[in-house]
Amino acid sequence: MPGFEIFDESEKAQVNEVMNKGFTFRYNFDGIRNGVWKARELEQMICDTTGAKHTHLVSSGTTALTTALMAAGIGAGDEVIVPPFTFVASVEAVVFAGAIPIFAEIDETLTLSPEGIEAVITPRTKAVNMVHMCGSMGKMDEIKALCDKHNLILLEDACQATGATYKGQALGTIGQVGCFSFDSVKTVSCGEGGAVLTNDTAIYNNAHMFSDHGHDHIGLDRGAESHPIMGNNFRISEMNAAVGVAQWKKLPRILETQRRNKKALKEALAQYPEITFRQLPDESGDNAGFLSFFLPNETRAQEVVAALGKEGVPAVFYWYGNNWHYLKNWTHIHNMTSSAKLPIELIEDRPDYTQIQTPKSDAIMSRTISMLIQLSWTEEDIQSRIDAFANVFTK
Ligand SMILES: *Cc1c(COP(=O)(O)O)cnc(C)c1O
């Protein structure tokens, strides 16, 4: 997954262009920036690649989620369906928007299942936060149809799925609004950064205004701009956007390398009858940042994780035991612990998060192991992983 593995002179040259010729702020200062507009340039590149009508860059994937929620009109008291398997930001963003996260079950796509979503829809449901975990998608035809049927906003958290597609359509552009993360360990890195994608011009206008204190971004005089809405400062800097410009040009190479490396590993693992693979509704669109597979049961999965550890295989993830990616271990979410009183505390009939159960998801995640697919792997690195699996599964 990590684009940082292929940082080279091109990222430095882009940043230097900002420092030597342009300016650090993404808006205005036309007189001193000599036509250098890195955030704008990257936004256009993302639109060209994904087919999104609008892209708005922000400071992180998390602020992209907050911006997307606010821009799409998802706020106080609205229920937003979220998965128990995700990076915790997908849930925190909902809480800080004043909305109510409602956990639903995942399936063997490792993302929310259509049945799981349908089971928790209520009259208060406003949106589904569809998280495309580990580079790939869920059953998007069914999920899109379900959202349309119930008049729900489909928000795609594609923070881990930059470059992935479903039936030719970029993940992040299938629902009303989508988000990418460009943090230090994502497929494409800006150091820190994120993007909101949408085909809806009203959502786009809300997004760029909300992420910059409501500025309407009309005209050349920032001081004279009007502020149709209140907002926040989630702006990306031109230096971060510059890193992203260099990285985005490498996206085809990143995808090709990940897909090749993943294929080699997956083919080698397919011979072990105990292993089954994550369901991929459109395998050709997988960004291939991870290889995820299932063992027959939790005990065996833990044995295999331990054995791979002994073999010295790095970047093996057992999410079920990890503190940041699975609901079971999120004590602060169970208790809604915060440094200050949260909007959700004003909602009397809010869920008791200490009691939330997702048994179907537990049954899947307790058997799931993922391996990070890296760009820097040599043939020997791949072979050493294949050999390690042979030691674990044939001994
Ligand atoms: C990384 C990530 C985020 C948050 O992105 P940041 O840029 O780190 O704020 C949100 N959702 C998912 C699924 C992620 O993996």
Q: Which of 186, 250, 262, 328 is catalytic?
A: 186
- Just give the CATH number of 3-250: 3.40.640.10
- Just give the CATH number of 252-393: 3.90.1150.10
User: 3-class SS at 333?
Assistant: helix
Q: Parse the chain into domains and list their residue ranges.
A: 3-250, 252-393
For 85-131, the pLDDT digits (tens) are 999 999 999 999 999 999 999 999 999 999 999 999 999 999 999 99
Mutate to test the pocket of ligand 1, among 58, 183, 370 (most ligand atoms within 8 A of CB): 183
Nearest to 67 by CA among 86, 89, 48, 50: 89
Mutate to test the pocket of ligand 1, among 91, 134, 137, 181 (most ligand atoms within 8 A of CB): 181
Q: Per the structure block, which two tokens stand in for 372?
A: 């990070």
186 included as an active-site residue? yes
Q: Which residues line ligand 1 (CB under 6 A)?
A: 60-62, 86-87, 89-90, 131, 157, 159-160, 181, 183, 194
pLDDT-flagged residues of the chain (< 70): 1
Distance CA 63, CA 179 (A): 9
The dihedral through the CA atoms of 202, 140, 262, 307 has a sign that is positive
Residue 364: alpha-carbon gap to chain centroid: 20
For 136-191, the pLDDT digits (tens) are 999 999 999 999 999 999 999 999 999 999 999 999 999 999 999 999 999 999 99
Q: Please give the number of the atom of ligand 1 that sits closest to the Cα of 62.
A: 9
Q: How far apart are the CA of 388 and the centre of ligand 1, in A?
A: 31
